Amino acid sequence: MKTLILGAGYAGLAVATKLKPTPNLDVVLIEQNPYHTFETRLHEAAAHNTQVTLPIEPLLRGTGVKMDLAKIISVDLDNKSVETSTGSHSYDTLVIALGSVTNFYRIPGLAENASELKKAEDAEDIFEWITRAHSPTYDGSRNIIVGGAGLTGVELVTEVAQRTEKLSALKGIAPLTIYLVEAGPKILPVLEDHLREKAQKTLEDYGIKLLIGHRLMRASENSVTVQPQEGEAFDIPAGKIIWTGGIQAQDIVKGEKLEKGPANRIVVDRYLRMSSYPEVFVVGDMGLAKDKEGKIVPTTAQHAGQQGRLTGKNLMRLARGEEMQEYEPNTLGEFVSLGGLMAVGWMKLPWNQKLAMTGGIAHIMKRATEWRWRSSIE
């Protein structure tokens, strides 16, 4: 059974590292980078140049999985073919785990002028700008505009606030002015009100300018235009614009019977397969999986890891002629870093209860989830 795994993000790497050498199972992992990126820590790399990548090859030892370093160009489901930068591959079974790309929502000038935070290179670009902006010779705007107050946006602005505070004291220069622009009525919609209020108070204490209920209308090289719910639109000078306001699945998979849902995600069944192409699994951000109540599973690292580990097991079951296991998502909790040793979030308890946490203990629990993920792939 010739099997291809496309992508080594949280989901794809979980599939590959869960596998063991199995008769009738020949697996190749195709990934354009020789390393895995911890996307949930990119905000730390952007502010502090933290190391957030891990070589892939050592993680594949003992799995029987071979690696092909190549960029995936297109996937043809009807002809069972994958086109890459190094050639074409056929398959019997396919796992699509290509993750997501930034959704700029066709906002004029945004894609051309805003940085993203999806790759290690994005974080490096932001880190270098912050360093330049604290140089005495820097003569541009020292405003940093972050669009989107979800997990990524909030975690990024708090880390940047900490770094600019340190650099300001060290170099005797004023700190950056940080704006967080959110079109919706609140920050961090994934959190309950009391945790959200704690997070918002922390952002305000950092001096971050919160523009909640403000839609980013357009961007240029050195400014953004925002529109409040009431009142007239206004411009804000910008030295750096960063967009974290949305994602969508990559649009490189083609097939006449392909079924897609919101944000371009591919609809999958209870085994994480495409119903019209049962030899194809879709895991992570690209897959539109649902729980037993029919609710769409969110695009988080913990769910991507769960889907990947299950799919790895199911590939081995298929090769052995055994029955596959259905996917049952399990949200273990959600933690948001607020800079340094500060975080807020909750952990799942028995009988569907939640334990809310703030401060250092929440920071420790967030780190524990990252350690748990790393131990699952090593």
- The token duo for 179 is 């704006």
Residue 350 confidence (pLDDT): 85
Q: Do the domains at 2-102+248-331 and 110-245 have one common CATH topology?
A: yes
Question: Distances in Å between the alpha carbon of 301 and those of 194, 283, 287, 297?
Answer: 24, 11, 13, 11
pLDDT band at 185 (very low <50, low <70, confident <90, very high): very high
Q: Which residues contact 184 (CB under 8 A, 6 or more apart)?
A: 149, 212, 213
pLDDT band at 183 (very low <50, low <70, confident <90, very high): very high
Is pLDDT of 97 > 90? yes
The model's pLDDT over 19-65, given as tens digits with 9 standing for 90+, comes to 999 999 999 999 999 999 999 999 999 999 999 999 999 999 999 99
Please tell me which residue, 162 or 350, carries the higher pLDDT value: 162
If we measure between CA atoms, which residue out of 28, 24, 34 comes closest to residue 15? 28
Angle ∠(262,123,210) on CA atoms, nearest 5: 70
Query: What's the residue count for the chain?
Result: 378
Is pLDDT of 12 > 90? yes
Average pLDDT over all residues of the chain:
95
Mean pLDDT for the stretch of residues 344-352: 88
8 Å CB contact between 343 and 337: yes
β-sheet bridge partners, residue 236: 224
Question: Rounded to an integer, what distance in angstroms lies between the CA atom of residue 363 and that of residue 360?
Answer: 5
CATH class of 2-102+248-331: alpha beta
pLDDT-above-90 percentage for the chain: 89
- The token duo for 239 is 């030295």
Model pTM? 0.94
Question: Rounded to an integer, what distance in angstroms lies between the CA atom of residue 334 and that of residue 351?
Answer: 17
Residue 341 confidence (pLDDT): 85
Angle ∠(179,357,203) on CA atoms, nearest 5: 15
Taking the CB of residue 164, how many other CB atoms lie within 10 A of it? 24
CATH 3.50.50.60 for domain 110-245, yes or no, is yes
In 183-300, where does DSSP find H-type helix? Answer: 193-205
Domain ranges of the chain: 2-102+248-331, 110-245, 332-378
pLDDT band at 238 (very low <50, low <70, confident <90, very high): very high
8 Å CB contact between 177 and 209: yes
Give burial (CB, 10 Å; 0-12/13-18/19+) of 169. exposed
Mean pLDDT for the stretch of residues 171-181: 95
**Alpha carbon 260 to its chain's center:** 20
SS3 for 65? Answer: strand
8 Å CB contact between 181 and 214: yes
Torsion of Cα atoms, 202 then 205 then 208 then 213, to 10°: 60
Residue 212 confidence (pLDDT): 97
Residue 205 confidence (pLDDT): 96
Residue 93 confidence (pLDDT): 98
Residue 374 confidence (pLDDT): 84
- The token duo for 359 is 């401060």
pLDDT-above-70 percentage for the chain: 100
Torsion of Cα atoms, 347 then 37 then 143 then 235, to 10°: -90
